């Protein structure tokens, strides 16, 4: 006779040591003991008697117990042991709970950190922790759905940071692909997000690219009283060497070879990271002339541009931009924009695009070409850096005529 909810609720343990069995049909019964009421099902598989547990009443009500019984009987009809199927399902769920998006992302982040600059790795981890983990971090990576990713990136885009939203989609996509590669997911829900948010408009850093404007700027930099001597020297050295702000700020004295007129920057300090190569900057006569002055100010440390005279720190990333703002160039010239200024002015003087791009350490899009470009154009780069130093000196002095190089290639 089938059980009823009322009976199950009211039935008491009789005191029997083995408990009391109350059948519901289909080999399922309610086992009532001093410890509680348990759903059980006895069956035979390959000639062996087995018992399958469906849970504890009232956590598992009668309707759910019958549903689990029917599923078990269907498995038996298909030649599958329901006890084995249950263990496999439990193990699968445990794997899902262990392989959350956060767990997989942190594993991926540790792997990626070995092949990129430290500040890039830290920035990516911050984006994961601030935006992605709160939204989908605790979800099994294999169960994350496109709408969950969409909701996260739309929330970031709505706050006015479209670039960050686009970057978050890219990071999610890389994590999902890593999960697929390691057998913990089967598809990438972030791939469906392409075009789901407004494309970020790139705003280039301000840079003066005409000789007249740039000449006025270098003369203002020479004459400004709005900065200490070390800051002014840092700005001018960056102007003469085309380096990125980070590379300039982290410059060390042992990287400077005065005899060879070179500044050799280790790969780990370059934007592209330690998986590529170091970068050589040919130093013009004007750049070399600055070094004795710099030695007087920072020669007691291992850095060219230390913070507060301490070898333990470097000049702030905002120092040069703040100087340019005080000079009145807030929307005209930025620290990073010095590279664009130099690139534009020298391209007008006939130097090859390939050599100019190599001096800027711009990554070669063609990987086959990049493999052979490590020291390419160095001779030409020496010549045009000398030309650049002469041009800057002429602009500083206000000369109207600057001789063009006799040979640009």
What is the Cα–Cα distance from 139 to 131, expressed in whole angstroms? 14
Among candidate residues 339, 358, 381, 382, the one labeled active-site is 339
What is the Cα–Cα distance from 192 to 227, expressed in whole angstroms? 51
Instruction: Calculate the CA dihedral of residues 155, 160, 164, 170 and round it to 10 degrees.
Output: 50
Among candidate residues 48, 204, 212, 372, the one labeled active-site is 372
Among candidate residues 114, 295, 362, 363, the one labeled active-site is 362
Among candidate residues 68, 169, 336, 377, the one labeled active-site is 336
Is 12 a residue of the active site? no
Phi, psi of 38 (to 5 degrees): -120, 140
Q: Which positions ≥6 away from 132 have C-beta within 8 Å?
A: 101, 105, 152, 168, 171, 172
Q: Which positions ≥6 away from 24 have C-beta within 8 Å?
A: 2, 3, 30, 62, 65, 66, 69
Q: ω before 58 within 30° of 0 (cis)?
A: yes
What is the Cα–Cα distance from 45 to 60, expressed in whole angstroms? 25
Is 339 a residue of the active site? yes
Pairing of the two strands 20-25 and 48-57: unpaired
Among candidate residues 112, 232, 244, 249, the one labeled active-site is 244
What is the Cα–Cα distance from 167 to 141, expressed in whole angstroms? 19
Among candidate residues 274, 325, 332, 349, the one labeled active-site is 274
What is the Cα–Cα distance from 255 to 387, expressed in whole angstroms? 23
Tokens of 222: 């020479």
Is 244 a residue of the active site? yes
What is the Cα–Cα distance from 260 to 255, expressed in whole angstroms? 11
Is 274 a residue of the active site? yes
Q: How many CA atoms lie within 13 A of 23 on its CB side?
A: 5
> Which residues form the catalytic set?
244, 274, 336, 339, 362, 372
């Amino acid at each position: 006779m089938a059980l009823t909810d009322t009976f199950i609720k009211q039935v008491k343990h009789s005191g029997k040591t083995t408990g009391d069995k109350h059948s519901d049909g289909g080999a399922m019964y309610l086992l009532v003991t001093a410890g509680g009421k348990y759903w059980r099902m006895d069956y035979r598989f390959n000639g062996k008697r087995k018992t399958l547990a469906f849970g504890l009443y009232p956590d598992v009500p009668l309707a759910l117990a019958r549903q689990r019984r029917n599923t078990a009987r269907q498995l038996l009809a298909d030649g599958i042991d329901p006890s084995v199927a249950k263990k496999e399902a439990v193990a699968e769920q445990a794997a899902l709970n262990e392989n959350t998006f956060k767990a997989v992302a942190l594993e991926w982040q540790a792997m990626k950190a070995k092949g990129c600059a430290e500040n890039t790795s830290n920035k990516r981890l911050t984006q994961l922790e601030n935006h992605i983990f709160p939204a989908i971090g605790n979800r099994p990576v294999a169960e994350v759905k496109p709408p969950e990713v969409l909701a996260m990136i739309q929330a970031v885009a709505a706050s006015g940071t479209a670039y960050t939203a686009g970057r978050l989609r890219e990071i999610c996509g890389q994590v999902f692909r890593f999960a697929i590669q390691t057998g913990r997911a089967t598809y990438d829900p972030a791939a469906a997000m392409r075009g789901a948010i407004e494309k970020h408009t790139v705003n280039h850093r301000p840079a003066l690219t005409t000789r007249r404007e740039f000449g006025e700027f270098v003369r203002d930099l020479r004459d400004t009283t709005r900065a200490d001597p070390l800051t002014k020297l840092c700005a001018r050295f960056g102007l003469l060497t085309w380096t990125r702000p980070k590379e300039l700020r982290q410059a060390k004295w042992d990287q400077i070879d005065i005899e060879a007129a070179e500044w050799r920057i280790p790969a780990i300090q370059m934007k592209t990271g330690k998986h590529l190569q170091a970068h050589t900057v040919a130093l013009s006569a004007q750049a070399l002339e600055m070094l004795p002055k710099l030695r007087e100010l920072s020669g007691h440390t291992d850095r060219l541009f230390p913070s507060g005279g301490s070898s333990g720190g470097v000049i702030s990333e905002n120092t040069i931009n703040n100087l340019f703002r005080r000079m009145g160039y807030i929307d005209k010239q930025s620290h990073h924009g010095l590279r664009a200024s130099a690139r534009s002015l020298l391209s007008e003087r006939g130097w090859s695009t390939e050599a100019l791009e190599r001096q800027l350490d711009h990554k070669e899009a063609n990987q086959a070409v990049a493999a052979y470009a490590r020291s390419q154009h160095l001779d030409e780069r020496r010549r045009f850096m000398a030309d650049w130093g002469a041009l800057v000196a002429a602009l500083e002095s206000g000369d109207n005529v600057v001789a063009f190089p006799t040979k640009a290639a």
